[in-house]
C-alpha cells in the first residue's frame, strides 16, 4: 500500500511537472508571436476609448506611407480596403451604439472601407479573424456578412500622416493616414 501511495505521489508530481512545462512552452510561443507581430513593417496598434457609456476598442496594423501615394495610388479609389494592414481591422463595442445614425449591436466586427476622392463607404462586417486580403490582393470581406454600411466625407489634411492611426473622441472615431482624415459619428 505504501508503494502505491509513493507511486501515486510520483505520478502526480510528474503530471504537475508536465503541465508546468506545457504552460511555459505555450507562454513562450505566444510571447514570440507577439514579438514577431511587433517587428512587422506594419506593426499592431490599438486604440481604446469611451463614447457615451460604450467602451470601444479598435485593433489594427499600422502601415506607413514610405514615399508612396496611398489613396488613389497604392490603394485605388472605389476598391474595398481592410482599413489597415495584415489581419482585418477589428472594431469592438460592449454596448449597442448608433454609427452615423445606424444601429450597431454590441459585439466584435471587421472594419472595412472603400476610399474615394470626396467620400468613403464604411462597412462593419460580422466575420472576424480573417487575414485582410486574399491571395492576389482582393479584400477578404464577405459582403453577405455586412451588418451596416454608410458613406462619410473625407477631409484633406495639410500635413502628411506617415503612419495610419485611429482615434476616438466623445463624438465618434476616425482614422488619419497620408493626407486623409475620415471621421465617423457615434452616439
Angle at 183 between CA 122 and CA 96, to 5 degrees: 65
> 90 with 15, same domain?
no
Which of the pair, 146 or 32, is modelled with greater confidence? Answer: 146
Q: What is the mean pLDDT of residues 72-87?
A: 93
> 50 with 18, same domain?
no
> 25 with 104, same domain?
no
> 34 with 51, same domain?
no
Residue 81 has pLDDT above 70, yes or no: yes
Q: What is the mean pLDDT of residues 83-92?
A: 94
Q: What is the mean pLDDT of residues 62-86?
A: 95
The reported pLDDT for the residue numbered 46 is: 97
Q: What is the mean pLDDT of residues 123-144?
A: 82
Q: Over pLDDT 90: what percentage of the chain?
A: 71
> 50 with 32, same domain?
no
> 98 with 147, same domain?
yes
> 81 with 138, same domain?
yes
Binned at pLDDT 50, 70 and 90, residue 30 comes out as: very low
> 112 with 25, same domain?
no
Range 41-48 contact pairs with CB under 8 angstroms and sequence separation of 24 or more: 41/85, 42/84, 42/85, 42/86, 42/164, 44/86, 45/165, 45/166, 47/165, 47/166, 47/167, 47/168, 47/173, 48/168
> 96 with 141, same domain?
yes
> 63 with 116, same domain?
yes
The reported pLDDT for the residue numbered 32 is: 42
The reported pLDDT for the residue numbered 130 is: 82
The reported pLDDT for the residue numbered 18 is: 55
> 25 with 59, same domain?
no
> 132 with 172, same domain?
yes
Bridging pattern class, strands 146-169 and 119-125? antiparallel
Domain count, the chain: 2
Binned at pLDDT 50, 70 and 90, residue 152 comes out as: very high
pTM: predicted TM-score of the whole model, two decimal places: 0.77
Q: Print the domain residue range for 79.
A: 44-185
Q: What is the mean pLDDT of residues 156-172?
A: 97
Amino acid at each position: 500500500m505504501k508503494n502505491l501511495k509513493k507511486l501515486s505521489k510520483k505520478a502526480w508530481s510528474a503530471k504537475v511537472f508536465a503541465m508546468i512545462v506545457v504552460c511555459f512552452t505555450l507562454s513562450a510561443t505566444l510571447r514570440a508571436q507577439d514579438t514577431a507581430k511587433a517587428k512587422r513593417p506594419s506593426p499592431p496598434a490599438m486604440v481604446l476609448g469611451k463614447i457615451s457609456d460604450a467602451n470601444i476598442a479598435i485593433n489594427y496594423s499600422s502601415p506607413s506611407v514610405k514615399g508612396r501615394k496611398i489613396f488613389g495610388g497604392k490603394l485605388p479609389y472605389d476598391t474595398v480596403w481592410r482599413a489597415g494592414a495584415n489581419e482585418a481591422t477589428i472594431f469592438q463595442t460592449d454596448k449597442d451604439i448608433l454609427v452615423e445614425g445606424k444601429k450597431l449591436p454590441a459585439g466584435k466586427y471587421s472594419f472595412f472601407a472603400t476610399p474615394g476622392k470626396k467620400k468613403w463607404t464604411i462597412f462593419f462586417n460580422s466575420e472576424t479573424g480573417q487575414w485582410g486580403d486574399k491571395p492576389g490582393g482582393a479584400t477578404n470581406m464577405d459582403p453577405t456578412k455586412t451588418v451596416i454600411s454608410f458613406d462619410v466625407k473625407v477631409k484633406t489634411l495639410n500635413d502628411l500622416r506617415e503612419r495610419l492611426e485611429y482615434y476616438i473622441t466623445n463624438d465618434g472615431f476616425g482614422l488619419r493616414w497620408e493626407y486623409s482624415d475620415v471621421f465617423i459619428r457615434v452616439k
